[in-house]
Amino acid sequence: MRIEIDGLNVFYMDQGPERPGAFDETVLLLHGWGASSSLYRSIIDRLSVRRRVIAPDFPGFGETAEPDRPWEVRDFADFTLKLIDRLGVEKVMLLGHSHGGRVALDIAARDELPFTLTRMVLMDAAGILPRKTLRQKLRQRQYKIARTILSWKPVRALYPDALENLRRSHGSADYQNASPLMRQTLVKVVNTSMEWAMPRVTVPTLLLWGEDDTATPISDGERMEQLIPGSGLARIPGAGHFCYVDRWPQVARVLDAFLDGGNE
């Protein structure tokens, strides 16, 4: 399905049961960086048996065009709030994976929302900034110096490919695969700590984590459990950053238990 928000033609999935009264609580699924709603088909199909599930493609991902400028975490959250308003949803459970977890935290921390936030699931969520080692700090400083030098016009004229080669050698896979505008967005969001938002969360929150996650390690989940009041951490053995792909039966059981034990 498609909807226009601030001039952007947005693709989203909207799936749920047809029986009357089934839409009392809507699950809003917020995907991770470099992904799209289609990657979460197993979750959407599972949860939509008894609930309405809405899963948008964030601007710059999947079938939704890029924004007109680099976005920050708050821009993604504002976009999500506008989507909820346009679709007329009154009760929302947020489910955020990876980057979607950052966005969910920004929303959950706000003082006033135009809907009722019932609960939240953060799955291998981003938002804890890693502490850099001395070696990493030195490497980052060397990169910045080299980038400045290679950006000078005379140097770029002599070595036109050098700057891009430098970026490729230092950037992550997500950075390499992104457009120039989305690279700027990525730099903004990955350097944003969401720890300020965590103590402000007031709804029941499930933290669902792959024990072998290397992108957002299990220590991030442990930290979030400390900072988010009343939250609980469910560890998925043998699973990485996409825990629902690596160990879907276990993840499905945990989600069912959390959903069936809360608001219906």
Count other Cβ atoms within 10 Å, centred on residue 208: 25
pTM of the predicted model as reported, rounded to 2 decimal places: 0.87
pLDDT at position 154, please? 80
For the segment 218-245, what is each residue's pLDDT rounded down to a tens digit?
999 999 999 999 999 999 999 999 999 9
Of 48, 59, 145, 162, the closest CA to residue 95 belongs to: 48
| Single-letter amino acid code for the residue at 42 | S
For the segment 9-63, what is each residue's pLDDT rounded down to a tens digit?
999 999 998 764 545 899 999 999 999 999 999 999 999 998 999 999 999 999 9
Q: What is the mean pLDDT of residues 106-129?
A: 97
